């Protein structure tokens, strides 16, 4: 039974991995910053050795996109330097590393789904820190390891867009949501399940990059409209241009990810985003 280290275990994806863990034949070690500082390479190396770790699922991340603009060192420490540590350990120990990255490594100027080999061009500190983490892992190149880019993650755990919309939908009669940013929501449980399904299949000499989100395409506006419809909330959603809702970090206008590669290599089926939203709202007790 393989021993799997999960970092960032209290985040959305880490929490979903914990929720699914009993259904898989792995021995899991769930850690967060309080139990294992992945910025300390010696501490991680000792933990991996002491617990005979066979694989690392790195769910730890600095995800405060706007706050990263004023905290670049914090973002870099978690999204770049800690990933570099994990990659070094994976290479020297000969273990698998699965690292979660983001659509924010792209600038969103394409008008077709992004493939893994498209040139990266992050627009803010957060995206740059994630891009640097990818570059470090690719340079160190631990065998049987991969980078998994995803987008618009939500879950019944933690804070996210879906839970915010449900809360605001109960408090307000109307909301404005941007309609000119297009992508695909990703239910963290689907992503966690995919990670566990592909883990025993990973076999590559070099680090590979894969894209994963739910199927389909939508805007934040349409996403919000569907949340209100499923939750039977009467809050009206009004479309806004991005310029009407300015943020410290510019968001990609188009960040749809092409998932052909992961579906072909690992033969996985990816759920449609509305079906996954239905499942999450049901678990949350908000599906009416």
Active site residues: 126
Spatial distance between the Cα atoms of 60 and 160, rounded to a whole number of angstroms: 16
Q: Are 43 and 92 in contact (CB under 8 A)?
A: no
Q: E strands within 140-228? A: 146-150, 153-154, 174-178, 182-183, 186-187, 208-211, 218-219
Question: Of the candidates 176, 166, 281, 285, which has an alpha carbon nearest to the alpha carbon of residue 234?
Answer: 166
CA neighbor of 218 nearest in space, from 166, 247, 255: 255
CB atoms within 10 A of CB 39: 15
Q: CA nearest 12: which of 66, 68, 60, 82?
A: 60
> Is 227 within 8 Å of 166 (Cβ atoms)?
yes
The length of the chain, given as a count of residues: 288
Query: In sequence order, what DSSP letters do the residues of 149-163 get, joined into one string?
Result: EE-SEE-SSS--HHH
């Amino acid at each position: 039974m393989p021993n799997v280290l999960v970092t960032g275990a209290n985040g959305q994806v880490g929490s979903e991995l914990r929720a699914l863990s009993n259904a898989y034949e792995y021995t899991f070690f769930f850690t967060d910053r309080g139990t294992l500082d992945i910025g300390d390479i010696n501490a991680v190396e000792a933990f991996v050795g002491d617990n005979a770790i066979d694989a690392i699922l790195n769910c730890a991340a600095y995800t405060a996109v706007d706050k990263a603009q004023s905290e670049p060192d914090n973002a870099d420490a978690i999204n770049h330097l800690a990933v570099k540590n994990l990659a070094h350990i994976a290479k020297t120990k000969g273990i698998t590393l699965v690292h979660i990255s983001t659509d924010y490594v792209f600038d969103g100027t394409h008008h077709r789904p992004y493939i893994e080999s498209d040139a990266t061009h992050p627009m803010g500190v957060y995206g740059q820190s994630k891009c640097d983490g990818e570059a470090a892992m690719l340079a160190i190149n631990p065998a049987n390891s991969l980078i998994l880019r995803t987008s618009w993650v939500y879950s019944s755990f933690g804070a996210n867009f879906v839970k915010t919309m449900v809360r605001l939908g109960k408090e307000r009669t109307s909301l404005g949501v941007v309609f000119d940013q297009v992508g695909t929501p990703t239910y963290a449980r689907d992503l966690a399940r995919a990670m566990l399904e592909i883990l025993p299949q990973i076999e590559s000499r070099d680090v590979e990059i894969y894209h994963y989100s739910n199927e389909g395409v939508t805007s934040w506006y349409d996403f919000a409209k569907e949340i209100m419809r499923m939750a039977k909330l009467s809050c009206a959603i009004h479309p806004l241009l991005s310029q009407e809702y300015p943020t410290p970090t510019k968001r990609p206008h188009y960040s749809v990810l092409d998932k052909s590669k992961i579906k072909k290599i690992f033969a996985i089926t990816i759920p449609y985003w509305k079906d996954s939203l239905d499942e999450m709202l049901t678990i949350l007790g908000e599906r009416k």
